[in-house]
A = this chain, B = another copy of it.
Amino acid sequence: MKSIPVSKVGERPLIGLLTKIFRGGSNAYVIVGPGHDDCAVLEMPGDEYLVVTTDMLHRKTDFPMQMTGWQIGWMSAAVNFSDIASMGASPVGFLSAIGLPRDTDVSLVEDIARGMADCAKMCGTSVIGGDIDTHDELTITGTALGMVRKEELLTRKGARVGDKVCVTGFAGSAGAALHAIENNIPVPDRLLKALLEPFPRVYEARELAGSGFVTSMMDTSDGLALSLHDLADLNQVGFRIYESLLPVHADVREHVSSDPQEIMDLALYTGGDFELLFTASPEILNQLFTTFNLSIIGEVVEQSAGMRIERDDGTNLSINRKGYLQLGN
C-alpha cells in the first residue's frame, strides 16, 4: 500500500477521515458528536447538557518563547474554556495531562499549575484532576467541561440569511503581537498579553446564549477568515463583511502597522485571538450589551454571493480560506 504522510494530507481532511471512523460508534448520550463543533455535547438528566473539549499544546508550536510558566498554564486552560464558551456553556471543571522533560524545574511546573488554576478560577471553576508524565518536549493536554441549559445550547449550525455577523473583543491582536515579536517591533505589554494571556469569553458567551438572539457561534482561534469559512460551509450561506467594521485595536494601528491592507490581513488571517464569532438575528441591534465589547462586522448573505469583504475604498475582495492550521498547507 502506498504510504502517505499526514503532512501531505493536511489537518482538515485528516480530521474528516478520523471523524468518519469515530461516527461509526453508537452512543445514546451524544447530542453533538465528533467533527461537528468546538465541543462534544452529551445528554444529561435535568435541564442541562454537558459539553466537553480537549486540546493538546506543545512547547515549540504553541507556546511562544516569551511565555512564562504561569502564561503556559493559563493558555492551556484558556484555549479549552474558549471552546466551552463557544457552545454558550458555563465551565464546570478542567483537567490537565502534562508531559514534562525530566530536567524541567519544579518551580516552572508549579507556575504552570498556578496559571491553570488562576484561569480556571477566572472562568468560575477549578482544576479537578489530571496526569503527569515524562516526555521530551513540554506537552499539555487540557480538557474542559461545561454545562448549558438545553434551550440555550449554541452550535456552529443555525446562521440564516439576513442575520448580523458579530465578534467579541478585537480581531488580529494576537497575530499582531506575534508579528511584533518576530520582527522586534516594540509594542505595549497589553498587546503582548492578547497573545500570551488570551481571555476566554465565558461570561460574554453566557450573556449571548441567554439573549435568544444568537443563531450560531464558534471561537476564532484559527483566525477570523477560517472561522467565517467554517460557518459558511456548515450553514450553506455567504458572508458580507465590512473592512470599516473590523474591530482592530488602536495599539495595532499605532505600533504594528499603518498599512490598511496589512491591518486587514492581520484581522482576517491570523489566529490566537480566542474571541467569539457569532451570527444573530437583527434584533440584536436593539439589545444593549453594555457589559462587554461587541462588534457587528457584517451580515449573512446567500451562499451564491460568496464570502466577501467591502473595502473602505469601495472595492470588494474575496475572503480567502486561510488561517492558522497545524498540519500541511
The interface of chain A, by Cβ under 8 A from chain B, is 1, 3-7, 9, 11, 14-15, 17-18, 21-22, 24-27, 29-30, 33-35, 39-40, 42, 44-48, 50, 52-58, 61, 92-93, 95-100, 102-107, 109-110, 113-114, 116-117, 120-121, 125-137, 139, 141, 143, 145, 326-327
Contacts and interface: CB of A to CB of B under 8 A. Distances in A.
A61 B100 CA distance: 13
A52 B132 contact: no
A106 B40 CA distance: 24
Contacts of A132: 11, 14-15, 18, 326-327
A117 to B, nearest CB: 5
Contact of A18 (B47, B92, B130, B143): B130
A27 B125 contact: yes
Contacts of A48: 45
Contacts of A45: 44-48
B61 A133 contact: yes
Nearest to A139: B139
Given A44-B45, A141-B54, A18 B113 contact: yes
Contacts of A30: 93, 126, 128
Nearest to A36: B129
A95 B24 contact: no
Contacts of A104: 5-6
Contacts of A135: 56, 58, 61, 137, 139
Given A15-B132, A29-B125, 4 more contacts: A14-B132, A18-B130, A25-B127, A134-B327
Given A45-B44, A128-B52, A93 B29 contact: yes
Contact of A5 (B25, B34, B54, B103): B103
Contacts of A137: 135-137
A114 B42 contact: no
A17 B45 CA distance: 36
B109 A18 contact: yes
Nearest to A97: B56
A289 to B, nearest CB: 27
Given A18-B113, A54-B95, A143-B95, A40 B129 contact: yes
Contact of A139 (B56, B95, B106): B56
A35 B29 CA distance: 28
A94 to B, nearest CB: 9
Nearest to A128: B40
Given A6-B104, A132-B11, A125 B25 contact: yes
A33 B326 contact: no
A104 to B, nearest CB: 5
